[in-house]
Amino acid sequence: MNDKDLLRHYLKMKGPDAARWNLSPECLYLEFRMRAAIKSYLVPFAGMGVLNVGIGVGEWDDFLGYWIKDFGSLTSVDIDKSICSLFRYRQRRERHANPSSVVCEDILKTELPRRSFDVVTVVGSTFEEVGETPALFSVCMDLLRPGGRLFAAPIDRNGQATALLRQACLSSVPVIHNKRFSHEKVRLRVIVVKRPRQERTRKAAENHLE
C-alpha cells in the first residue's frame, strides 16, 4: 500500500458513480442519523473498548475513533484484505488522532477474545453483506462484556432489521432502543441491544417487539 493507492481511493470516492451517492441528501441523512443516534444513546467512558464490524470506506470508523478519542480504543474488523490495508494506511497518512486497531478476518470465525468490548457496532449494509443475521448477532453478543451494548443501524430493507429484532427476542436480551428513520426512499433502523449482566426471561424480551 502506498500514496498512489491512496490517491486512487480518493479519486474513486469522487468519481461519477460513487460521488452521486456520497454527496446525495439520502447518504448524508443516513450518516447524520447514525452518528447522532450513537452519541444520543451511548456515553463514552474511560477505558471504553469499541468494536466495529465492517469497515467499508472507513468513515464510520473514523468518526468512532474521534468520538471516543479521550476515553478508549477502537478495533475495526473486515474480511477484505485490501479494505483493511487501505484503511490502515489511510488513517496513518491522514494522522488520525485515535486510529483503529485493524483486524482482517471473517467475523463469524473471529479469534477476538470473548467479552472484551463495551460496545459493538454494525451499521449500513454489513448485516446484508454477511447474510447470516442470527450468527452475526450471536458473535457480537459474545464479544460484549456483561452490560455492554450492540449498536446496530441496518439499512431497513430485505428484512435485516426484523430478523435482528427477532433474534434479540429469541436470545432473551433487552432491546433498549428501536427507532425507524426515513428520507425519501431511504429507511434506516437504529437498534441498541444490551447484553444483560444476568439472564432474563424470553417473555420480557418479547415485549420489545410490540
* pLDDT for residue 198: 66
Rounded to a whole number, what is the distance in angstroms from the first to the last CA of the chain?
49
C-alpha 38/C-alpha 66 separation (Å) is 13
- On whether residue 21 sits in a domain, the answer given is no
- Determine contact, residues 101/64, Cβ cutoff 8 Å: no
pTM: 0.88
- On whether residue 104 sits in a domain, the answer given is yes
- On whether residue 2 sits in a domain, the answer given is no
- On whether residue 115 sits in a domain, the answer given is yes
Domain count, the chain: 1
- On whether residue 177 sits in a domain, the answer given is yes
CATH assignment of the domain containing 97: 3.40.50.150
- On whether residue 1 sits in a domain, the answer given is no
* pLDDT for residue 164: 78
- On whether residue 93 sits in a domain, the answer given is yes
- On whether residue 9 sits in a domain, the answer given is no
- Determine contact, residues 160/122, Cβ cutoff 8 Å: no
* pLDDT for residue 201: 44
Q: Which residues of the chain have pLDDT under 50?
A: 201-210
* pLDDT for residue 117: 98
Q: Which domain holds residue 167?
A: 26-209
* pLDDT for residue 203: 45
